[in-house]
Amino acid sequence: MRAKPRSISITSGKGGTGKTTLTANLGVAMGSLGHDVTILDGDLAMANLAIVMGMHRCEVSFLDVLAGKADIGDAIYKNYGIKVVPTGFRFEDVHDVLTKTKRESVEEAATELLRQTEFLLIDAPAGIADATVISIAAAREMLPVCNPTYSSLVDCHKTVRLANVLGAWTRGVVVNRMGKAADISTAEIEHFMGKTLGSMPVLAEIPEDAKVLEAEREGVPVVVYEPSCAASVAINELARVVAGGADLPYAPGKEREVGETVKRLIRALTGRRA
């Protein structure tokens, strides 16, 4: 077991915030810092992490693992210096797979994922539906992403409150696509979050950057496609913040914390207690 395996669910209150793109780039940025990173596509119904990562031929997915058709090692792919566990594109199979998932298969997969990585990033589906609850409940930490608009902020606030209920720690908020079209400032976001949740700082402002769209069209993370652009610089700085463990309210290196993370994954994916 690695010294400090950590699980982080990356969420957004609504779709269109750029969460999946941010997750992919954050993972690659953390990997470039020397960390062992694995990204799990937690959007079981509308998975697209593999597309953002430029991975179009993934014959085995996480759904195959949950269905008992493959081992977790078969669903782990390496790309841009990190490991990626795609979910697949057949949303019709999700309900059938989850209702038949065995606790033992989830426990084995979760334990192996944590055993072979330092950071497990879970790309959660947008909103606060059941699938989002699954992803948040499966992680010890949650990183919410919002856009600089009032509606996105309110929805982000809901996901933080949900994380609090589920026992996932939230260090702060990431504001994506900050630019001239922003409705609210960083100070206003921090004031709103602080007024309702206590201390909830903005960890990073990722600026609106045309290079992000260019990179997406090429199927390449922007931190690789154009490392010096404004978005890449901000994401790399966020990677350093997220990787820092000085403020963690739990001890990820302790065996009981690893066991707790596995239990959370089991409860989240099967609806049953470990």
Q: Look up residue 193 and give its amino acid.
A: M
Q: Look up residue 265 and give its amino acid.
A: L
Residue with tokens 């990356």, as numbered in its chain: 10
Question: What is the per-residue pLDDT for 103?
Answer: 60
Rounded average pLDDT over 89-107 = 61
Nearest CA-CA partner of 173 in 241, 247, 125: 241
Q: Distance (Å, rounded) from C-alpha 268 to C-alpha 110? A: 11
Rounded average pLDDT over 35-58 = 85
Question: What is the per-residue pLDDT for 166?
Answer: 81
Q: Look up residue 21 and give its amino acid.
A: T
30 belongs to a structural domain: yes
CA Rg value for the chain? 17
233 belongs to a structural domain: yes
Question: What is the per-residue pLDDT for 104?
Answer: 67
74 belongs to a structural domain: yes
Torsion over CA: 245, 249, 251, 256 (sign): negative
1 belongs to a structural domain: no
Question: What is the per-residue pLDDT for 14?
Answer: 84
Structure tokens at 2: 């690695």
Contact 159, 13 (CB under 8 A): yes
- Measured from the Cβ of residue 208, the count of other Cβ atoms closer than 10 Å reads 18
pTM: 0.89
140/92: higher pLDDT: 140
Which of 18-27, 87-96, 167-176, 209-218 comes out lowest in average pLDDT?
87-96
Task: Please state, in angstroms and as integers, the Cα–Cα distance from residue 172 to each residue in 103, 189, 205, following that order.
Answer: 32, 11, 12
The CATH number of whichever domain residue 42 belongs to comes to 3.40.50.300
Range of the domain at 190: 6-270
Report the DSSP beta bridge partners of residue 123. Answer: 10, 41
**Which contacts of 158-165 are long-range, i.e. CB under 8 A and separated by 24 or more positions?**
158/13, 158/128, 159/11, 159/12, 159/13, 159/128, 159/132, 160/193, 160/197, 160/200, 161/197, 162/128, 162/132, 162/133, 162/136, 163/9, 163/11, 163/136, 164/197
Is residue 66 within a helix (H) or strand (E), and if so which, with residue range? helix 62-66
pLDDT bucket at 2, cuts 50 / 70 / 90: very low
- Measured from the Cβ of residue 216, the count of other Cβ atoms closer than 10 Å reads 18
Contact 9, 122 (CB under 8 A): yes
Contact 92, 63 (CB under 8 A): no
- Mean residue pLDDT across the chain: 84
Q: Look up residue 218 and give its amino acid.
A: E
Burial state string for 8-28 with b = 16 or more CB within 10 A and e = fewer than 16: bbbbbbbeebbbbbbbbbbbb
155 belongs to a structural domain: yes
101 belongs to a structural domain: yes
Structural domains counted in the chain: 1
